[in-house]
Structure 1
């Protein structure tokens, strides 16, 4: 700590604290004295209250500056602790951010796979619809051809196909009871 001068001793006495007091004790004593001598509360003599208040503020500034000089090593250690804490917090935040990003990427990949499956299903549905339309067109063209070329009607063709199915060997559709 810096050397304690007579001016400093007077400042400590004015505040009512010992020279080895910490910042919290100094500030507490200063607040108590300011409340005592505040012009609104010190009704005896307002000019005296203002003078005492000015002395207290000057003493507080002087003592705080002096004690801060001695606390530089303590403050430096506290800053190191704070910077280590902040570094740990930033590492933690970075880790959490990376985890969130991984979850987002995983979610996006799953969403893309789901969309791909939907697209494939829609393509299969379109293809089957096109196949059905093509088969219907061919059947319509065939029935028109048959109507022009012969006397067979579509109903007759259906009955002939049904007949053919029923006359085929039974081993093709084997059922056991």
Structure 2
């Protein structure tokens, strides 16, 4: 027998594709960890990198926590057909609250990453809540049970916002100009 016949490759590829964002966040966390271990960087640079690392750790564990939750939901069939995505919504909201109230950040890069994470997780939460409402309306026969354009928007939106979070945690850049818009809005309020 050769190596390929001993493993169920379909099972492995399905697991990896379902949890690709978790794996990418793990790799981003490792990349940020390596950046903090640079002994030639100044103290302020290392402190800035540690703040970004703390955000990476929170995001990695938040998404990694979904793997055993999905397994338990599948094993014990505790998911409701009315609310199949509720645990995603609750975990996103819990992560937003954790980042906003428990993690104190001071560096510009970390604050940029925090703003993007909160923005993207908020958008994901809105998409999950909208899908929950849509499925609830379908299961209660208020609308026909068929695919429509919102499901495509949901799929593309969730993956887009996850990719934005991963990229911002990795490269620390204002990709969508969200940070610039927020800072501009604060400056205009200060003038008034």
Instruction: State TM-score, norm by structure 1.
Output: 0.24
Higher RCO structure (Cα 8 Å, ≥6 apart): 2
Normalised to the residue count of structure 2, the TM-score between the two structures is 0.23
Task: Answer with 1 or 2: which has the greater Rg.
Answer: 1
